[in-house]
Amino acid sequence: MTMEIISLEGTEDTPKIILDGKNGIYEISGRSLPEDSAEFYGPVLEWLDQYADAPNSATEFVFKLEYFNTASSKLILDILSKLEDIDNASVVWYYDEDDEDMQEAGEEFSELVEVPFEFKTF
């Protein structure tokens, strides 16, 4: 079964999202302040549920967020929780080197889930 690719262009309020199992690209980047976070991220969570049934040998999920609101943080945690069910999943958490808040957010997420995190600056 070939999984469909999720590819959303980023806007002022929503992040760019690419979920492409065939090419091994899993990335959420930009700003996340959708009006309805649960609705916005619903397809991402569904995609990860399907992907978990037959994941690639390694899954490196990249977050390059400049900003996210409280509602988005809950959904980001949901995404990270789903990665716990995927063998050999890992997270690369990018943050601006001057953005301590985003660095701390990543560190807090990393303590909440059993997924290896790597921190990089951009």
For the cut 70, the answer to whether the pLDDT of residue 2 exceeds it is no
The domain ranges of the chain are 60-122
pTM: 0.96
For the cut 90, the answer to whether the pLDDT of residue 4 exceeds it is yes
4: buried, middle or exposed (CB in 10 Å: 19+, 13-18, 0-12)? Answer: exposed
Q: What does the mean pLDDT of the chain come to? A: 97
For the cut 80, the answer to whether the pLDDT of residue 54 exceeds it is yes
Two tokens, residue 122:
């951009």
pLDDT value for 3: 84
Q: Label each residue of 53-83 as H, E or C.
A: HCCCCCEEEEEEEEEECHHHHHHHHHHHHHH
Q: Rounded mean pLDDT of 21-36?
A: 97
Residue holding tokens 């609101």?
69
CA dist 110 and 13 (Å) reads 24
Please give the share of the chain, as a percent, with pLDDT higher than 90: 97
Contact 60, 28 (CB under 8 A): no
For the cut 60, the answer to whether the pLDDT of residue 1 exceeds it is no
Strand 117-121, strand 89-95: pairing? parallel
CA dist 3 and 1 (Å) reads 6
Q: Which amino acid is present at 20?
A: D
pLDDT in tens, 60-105: 999 999 999 999 999 999 999 999 999 999 999 999 999 999 999 9
CA dist 116 and 88 (Å) reads 9
